[in-house]
Amino acid sequence: MSGVSLSEQMGAMALVDELRHSQTEIQKHLDLPQHRKAVAERIREFYKAKGVEVEDALVEQGVRNYFATRLTYEAPTLRWWETRLADTFIRRGQRLKWVAIWTPIILYSLYAWTQVISDFKQQGRYTQADLVSLQNEAHTRTQQVFLLQEQLAKLEPQVASAQVAAAGRLLDKAKTQLARAREQASIKLPQFALPEEQRSFNDGVMVSNATSDLRKSATSLEAMRAQLDDIGSLLMAAQKLKTLTTSREFLVASKVVPEVAAAAKEAQGALDDADTRGVAVAMAKVDQAVRLTDQQSLNPSYLAALEAARASVRQMNLSQADAAQFQPLLTKVDQAIKALDVAGTTSGLKEIDQLLAFAKTPLTLDIVSRTGEKSMVERNYDPTGGKSWYLLIEATDTAGNVMPVPITSIETGEKRYAKMFGVRVDQATYQEVKNDKLADGHVDNRRLGSKDANSLSFKFLKGRTTAKPAYILEW
């Protein structure tokens, strides 16, 4: 027992007393008749000690009434503003919903009325210069209406002859737009800008309406210009489709390939509905039909051109090495035709034709010898200290015309047709030509080689070039 501290004892006793008190209070409420009886007895003893005579029935009635209302809550009487505030708080969710709905409406209404008042004040703020400016603008609009009316009149017979229903409907819309623009450009204005205090309300309204109508007129004219452009584009697309469908290529392709006929039919439908589906859509459909027809008609014509090129190569009796140079080009065109690549096929056939023309033409290879132009180039390779020497050459036909020839640069790998190119020679030949030119400004011994007809190979004079001549295109 000696180990218990005073603080622990006092803390525990406080808790015991609290529990005992709570138990007592609970017991009072659980045994209310007995408790009322004890209270009544205590009151009678109190009055008896004071010498006051009180009837037992009166004591009983008082105690009973006390205990009947002891645990009853009576709400206090609120003033009117307290009642309204409490009601607002209780109904805050519903009221906030209405506030959220009506606040924007009220604010917009206030803004609109502010604008009306501002516009009303603004109507009276015009000068004589403003009236003149509006009159000039109205005159400009009238001229624009007249010009567009002339343009519309020129289009009308084209639309009638094209027999494109959508173009006719667009033309009717353009006429309506023009009439609206003409009406909007016909404005009325006060004759003079009177002092502000002498102006009537109608004068201000007249100026305001004129300004608004001219703005609308500009919009109407812009819309009409767009409609006239659409009509012109639609007529061009219709003519393009008509030209296509009457062409031999289309007639052949549409019988063989159903997609070609279907594309043309779809394009015609897009033209008929261009006023609702859009002119751009109709133009795209027509272009698609043309493109598909071109692709399908590619094989017959271009295959024939390719076979003709092959025959030309065979007829030239080229050497095996020269004939091999045509093979990559022929293969490239063949693949382009199979892929329906019009651009690739066309460019490939042009390359073959150019190389055939070069092969057929006999050429002489001469050193360039003109005043102000180089005749030779010396290359110095700094990292290695090596050198190489080139003579600048041009190829001429029998008539003396300089002809472009296919050259591949040893320095860059670039291959192109060039009218002038460098041929590598040994140092002795280079020095010989240099001395020749230094003597009188011209190269007397210009001939370096030749190319025979029906050949792609150059023949260089013995002793004037290296064993395997190399070429350059830049100097």
Cβ contacts of 263 within 8 Å, gap of 6 or more: 285, 288, 289, 292, 293
Q: What is the pLDDT along the chain (475 residues), one digit of tens a residue?
A: 556 777 777 878 878 888 888 777 776 666 777 877 888 888 888 888 888 888 888 888 888 888 777 667 677 787 888 787 877 778 777 777 877 888 888 888 877 777 655 555 555 566 778 778 888 888 888 888 889 889 888 888 988 888 888 999 999 999 988 898 888 888 887 776 656 655 666 777 778 888 888 889 888 889 888 888 999 999 999 999 999 999 877 887 777 678 888 999 999 999 999 989 999 999 999 999 988 887 776 666 777 888 889 999 999 999 999 999 999 999 999 888 777 777 888 899 999 999 999 999 999 999 999 888 899 999 887 777 788 999 999 999 999 999 999 999 998 999 999 999 999 998 899 999 999 898 888 898 899 999 999 999 999 988 788 777 899 999 8
Strands 421-425 and 471-472: antiparallel
Strands 421-425 and 415-418: unpaired
Cβ neighbours of 317 (radius 10 Å):
10
Candidates 384, 375, 298; CA nearest to 343 is: 298
* 3 state DSSP class of 199: coil
Extents of the domains making up the chain: 9-69, 129-191+199-233, 299-360, 363-472
- Say how far apart CA 456 and CA 423 lie, in whole Å: 16
- Say how far apart CA 92 and CA 87 lie, in whole Å: 8
Cβ contacts of 91 within 8 Å, gap of 6 or more: none
Candidates 224, 80, 213; CA nearest to 144 is: 224
Residue whose structure tokens are 């030749």: 450
